Amino acid sequence: MSASVSSKLVYLDENATATPDPEVMKAVFEWQSTWPANASSVHSLGRRARGAIEQSRRQVAQALGVNSRHLTFTSGATEALHTLIAGLLKPKDHVIVSAVEHPAVWGALSKLDVEIEIIAVNEQGQVDPQDFRKAKKSNTCLAIMMAAQNEIGTIYPIKEIATALGNTPLLVDAVQAFGKLSLKLEETGASYAVISGHKVGAPQGVGAIWSKGGQSFSPLLKGGAQERGRRAGTENVSAIVGLGFAASRMEQRLKKQIDLVQLREKFRQNIQDLFPNEFSIVGDFSTETSWEETILNPSWLRHGQLPNTLSLLALQGEGDLLLQQLDLAGFCLSAGSACSSGALEPSPVLQALGLSAKQASRGLRLSMGIQTSDEDLRALIRQLTLMYKS
C-alpha cells in the first residue's frame, strides 16, 4: 500500500450520512442545552417544545410542498418505512416493489405474510413505469418505489409510475432525493413518502412520513398520543428542530447541487481517461434535460442521476481491500449502501442491474456533499494514481 497524498479526511459518503450543517447543529445544540421539556407537558416549557415541533413541521412541509398536517415525525426513514408497510398491508395482500429498494423496505416486508412482486431494472437501475401497471392484480394494495437510488443515484419517474398505477397507492422512499432534488410531493401523484434528517445535514435519528390528504395508517408504535396517535413516544425535539431548520435551508442546498454536477462530471472524465483498465462507471445517465432543470424543477417524468453520486466498479482486486486502502489514506467512500458495507456480500442493487456477484463485490460509491471541493476530488485522483500507477 502506498502512502497517502491527503493530509485531511476527504468525506465522500454523503448518501450514508451527510456532513452535518453547522448552522443546523447550532440550532440543535441550543435547543438541547436550554431545557428541552416534554412536548406533551401542558406547562410553559412543554408548550415551548410543542411550538418548536410545530414550527419544524411547517418548515418540512414547505420544503416538500405539502400540508404540514399531513406529516408525522419518526426516528428516521427505517421506522417510517416499517410503519407504513406494516400499517397499510394485511395478510395475503399483493405488493409491487422495485428490485432496488433499500434494505429497510425488504426488512419490513419480510415480517409480513404478503405476496411480493418485484419490478426488474435495466443496466441503469431504471424501471419501466408500465411494468407497474402490468404487475397489478385484484389484491394489489400498495406499490413501493424510491425517488432516487442510494447506491447508483438513478432518479425515478415517480409521476409516470403513479399514473401507471392508477388507484393503487404508491409509497415513495424519498430519502435520497430530499436535499438533492426539489421535491414537491403533492405534484407526484404518490400517496405516501418518507424522508430522513441525516441525509440533509440534520442529526441522525429523525425522519418523517407524509401521507396524502393526511390519510391514516395504523401506528407501528402504540402508546401515548404523540403525533396525533400515529407515532407514540416522546418526541426527539432537538432532532426535529434540526430537521425543520435543515428543511428551511433547502433552497441553498439545492443550488449547491448544481455545482456538484460539474465536479462529478470532471471526476468521471478523469477516471475514464486515466484509469480505463482499473475502473468502469456504472450506468450511462446522459439526458436531454439540463441539470439545473433536473435539480430545481424535476417534473418527475424525466430520468437521470442524482447530482452528487457516482458508482464505479473496480476491474481488478477486491472491492473491500480497495475501500480499506482508501480509508487508510484518508478517503471515506462506501461499497454500496452503508447498511451492507460492513458485510462482505456483493451489492444486491448492482446485481439487480445485471452484474455478476464478483463484479457487484467491486462496487465503489462516491457521494459528494455541498462542501466537497474540486481539490478533494483531485486528491482522490492523485491517491488512485499512487495506488495503481506507481
Separation CA 43–CA 31 (nearest Å)? 17
Phi, psi of 72 (to 5 degrees): -125, 125
**364 versus 379: smaller Cβ distance to ligand PLP:** 364
In the bound state with ligand PLP, the residue whose beta carbon lies nearer, of 77 and 314, is: 77
Q: How far is the CB of 214 from ligand PLP (least distance, A)?
A: 22
**Angstrom distance (rounded) from CA 251 to CA 258:** 12
For the bound state, the minimum distance from the C-beta of residue 146 to ligand PLP, rounded and expressed in Å, comes to 5
CB 202 within 8 A of CB 31: no
Selecting among 116, 258, 332, 339, the annotated active-site residue is 339
Please tell me whether residue 72 binds ligand PLP under the rule CB under 6 A: no
Rounded CA separation 132/98 (Å): 9
141 carries an active-site annotation: no
Which three cell numbers, joined as nine digits, stand for 244? 425543520
**Residue 241 in contact with ligand PLP, rule: CB under 6 A:** no
| Residue 200: CB minimum distance to ligand PLP, A | 11
Residue 173 engages ligand PLP in binding (rule: CB under 6 A): yes
Under rule CB under 6 A, residue 294 binds ligand PLP: no
Q: Is residue 311 a contact point for ligand PLP (CB under 6 A)?
A: no
Which burial class, exposed, middle or buried, applies to 163 when counting CB atoms under 10 A from its CB (0-12, 13-18, 19+)? middle
User: Per CB under 6 A, which region of 1-9, 65-73, 76-84, 213-221 contacts ligand PLP?
Assistant: 76-84
**Pairing mode, if any, of strands 309-314 and 363-367?**
antiparallel
Q: Which residues between 327 and 346 bind ligand PLP (CB under 6 A)? A: 337-338
Taking the least distance from each CB to ligand PLP, the nearer of 207 and 283 is 207
Minimum separation from the CB atom of position 205 to ligand PLP (A): 8
Q: In terms of DSSP bridges, do strands 115-119 and 94-98 run parallel, antiparallel, or are they unpaired?
A: parallel
Within 128-157, the residues that bind ligand PLP by CB under 6 A are 146, 150
Task: Tell whether residue 78 is a contact of ligand PLP (CB under 6 A).
Answer: yes
Establish if 77 lies at the interface with ligand PLP (CB under 6 A): yes
188 binding ligand PLP? (CB under 6 A):
no
Question: Smallest gap, in angstroms, from Cβ of residue 375 to ligand PLP?
Answer: 27
| Least distance from ligand PLP to the Cβ atom of residue 174, Å | 8
Q: Nearest-CA neighbor of 40 among 206, 225, 171?
A: 225
> Which x/- pattern, by CB under 6 A, does the window 92-131 give for ligand PLP?
----------x-x---------------------------
Looking at 175, 185, 240, 360, which residue binds ligand PLP (CB under 6 A)? 175
Which residue of 176, 182, 308, 359 would you call a contact of ligand PLP, by CB under 6 A? 176
Residues that bind ligand PLP (CB under 6 A): 76-78, 102, 104, 146, 150, 173, 175-176, 196, 207, 337-338
Annotated catalytic residues are: 339
